[in-house]
Structure 1
């Protein structure tokens, strides 16, 4: 995109607070973008070839929606933690390995999509965010769900297509968790904690494609309690 094309987008963004620069083959933040920092509420830089997010991102403090999906990022940097109004963050389909701890400051986050990355350790930065509804970590390289995950407030947690073989029983303590997706992982039948079935608020547990047949779940202690919750929710839908 030439400078004239960018200029037109910038002029529109000044009026709307929305800037979409997706599919532009951009390798770095375009010139003069920082001038829009006091104005933008939505910034879409998806489908480009960024390898890093510049430190200047910290100045976009009015942002509510940030889309960095389909780039070549390897980290989510500390500076994103300065975007205190952020409600949705999409950094899916990158090469992200680490998530900065500063993201724990994003108290207004509602939706986070980090699917299709290279994350190995569960990103505990998203714990204690009381408005977080959906956290998508599918298609990463996670191997465990650690004890500290009990502090997650998300309603839906998507962990499909990872390499998870261990689930902490503390997962049952997640106070808002209703949907847990664990399809196509490395779970044995005895890896499913009794507490998750018996004492959690989970009403939709997706476990297809693990190292056991789904019908074997019914043999586990606590399964009847899970089915009672599942059935109660289904009845409300009809």
Structure 2
């Protein structure tokens, strides 16, 4: 455990502010006293040595932000899905291989960072979260974007540096998807379909570092329609 006096001091502050932040403290577990402060709105325990999250994480019914970047987590308890007021969940640079089945119950979630983990499957459960704006799944081992993703509400999805070989044409149906990052994967040109280029809302499609030359994409019959959206977005900035 980290320094007990430091934990006590941070706890006292958190009771006043609603924020418990204790980073780079070499914590092996979440201090048990933290769970008594059920009014917390923000918890930041990034850059520690946490291997598990206790099931009583569900006690934090008012939690809006949970940051657990740079720990040693291999899985998450299903109870984390009871945090229905959670808006920001950041779990970058852990060792996660799977995610809770009920992840879609986080109905207030707006930003999800799962970059630099060991995930092999795209979390299709996220498609039911209506408020979700940003998903970062970069630096994982995901091999495909599955069918059934068409009602995903995210504005931006980052899948850079995965092992993608297949992406579903259903991406063209995502009603709010503006930014799709697919750099440094294993995609062939025919995975970038006509409907993704011509019928989607995507105005920034990043695909450098795949199994085709960008010039080949520019020669695609539907590329001009994508560029119209890209240019229109640039003019608004």
Distance 1:3 1:137 in 2: 35
Matched, 1:121 2:121: yes
Runs of 5+ unmatched residues, structure 1 = none
Counterparts of 1:129 and 1:66, CA distance in 2: 17
2: CA distance, partners of 1:76 / 1:222: 42
- What is the CA RMSD across the aligned residues, in angstroms? 0.9
Alpha-carbon distance in structure 2 between the residues aligned to 1:156 and 1:5: 38
1:233 maps onto 2:236 in alignment: no
Equivalent residue, structure 1, for 2:207: 207
1:10 paired with 2:4, answer no
CA contact (8 A) 1:139 1:162 kept: yes
TM-score, normalized by length of structure 2?
0.97
Residue matched to 1:170 = 170
Q: Which residue of 2 aligns with 1:47?
A: 47
Deviation by residue 1:7-48 (Cα, 9 ceiling, x = unmatched): 111111000000001111111111311111x21000001101
- Give the drift of 1:96: 0.3
TM superposition shift of 1:131: 1.0
TM alignment of 1:81-96, pairs within 5 A: 81-96=81-96
2:215, 2:17 → 1: CA distance?
Answer: 52
Deviation by residue 1:138-169 (Cα, 9 ceiling, x = unmatched): 00000001112212100000000000011110
User: In structure 1, what is the Cα distance between the partners aligned to 2:80 and 2:185?
Assistant: 30
Aligned residues: 236
Separation of aligned partners in 2, 1:108 and 1:24: 30
Question: Gaps (5+ residues) in structure 2?
Answer: none
Residue aligning to 1:146:
146
TM-superposed CA distance for 1:213, in Å, is 1.0
C-alpha displacement at 1:4, in angstroms?
2.0
How much has 1:221 moved relative to structure 2?
2.8
1:192 and 2:192 are equivalent in the alignment: yes
Find the aligned partners of 1:206 and 1:173 in 2 and give their Cα distance.
18
Say whether the 8 Å CA contact 1:100–1:125 is kept in structure 2: no
Cα distance 1:219–1:178, how it changes in 2: closer, same or farther (>3 A)?
A: same
Partner SS, residue 80 of structure 2? helix
